[in-house]
Structures are given as structure tokens and as C-alpha cells.
Amino acid sequence: MAQEILAQDDADTKKVSWEAFIKQDVLNFMMTHNLQAITVDDGAGKKGVVKRTAKGDFSVQITSNEIL
């Protein structure tokens, strides 16, 4: 029974890719709070930087480090 509940919770949870998270959620947060720049780090090698340019556009930089 517990395994069924965990399986159902996993199926209901939508996972968003790191790139989509930066370009949607982080960008929306930045625009809502009128920020000039924001840096997000997941602690596992992925980093996203969103900055407002002088023209008022947004620059998005996404990096990823992988250990092979």
C-alpha cells in the first residue's frame, strides 16, 4: 500500500528541466520583483544566471558541469 502511494505521488509530480525552470520560473520571479540579476545554483553542478541588459532585454546563461 505504501509503495502504491509513493508511486502515485511520483507520477503526479511534474519534473521540469533545469533549462525550463530558469527560463520560466526564475525569469518570472525576477520580472515580478523587478530584479536586475539573479543566480541560481542547484549544488550539483548546474548554474543559471539571468541578467537584465541595458536595453531592457534579458540575458540567460545556463551552465552544467559533469563528472565522467
Domain boundaries along the sequence of the chain = 17-64
Would you say domain 17-64 falls under CATH 3.30.505? yes
For residue range 38-65, what is the model confidence (pLDDT) as tens digits? 999 998 889 999 999 999 999 999 998 8
DSSP-assigned beta bridge partners for residue 63:
47
Higher-pLDDT residue of 28 and 5 is: 28
Percent above pLDDT 70 for the chain: 79
The chain-wide mean pLDDT, for the chain, equals 84
Verdict on whether the full-model pTM lies above 0.85:
no
Query: Are 48 and 26 contacting, i.e. CB atoms less than 8 angstroms apart?
Result: yes
35: confidence class by pLDDT, cuts 50, 70, 90: very high
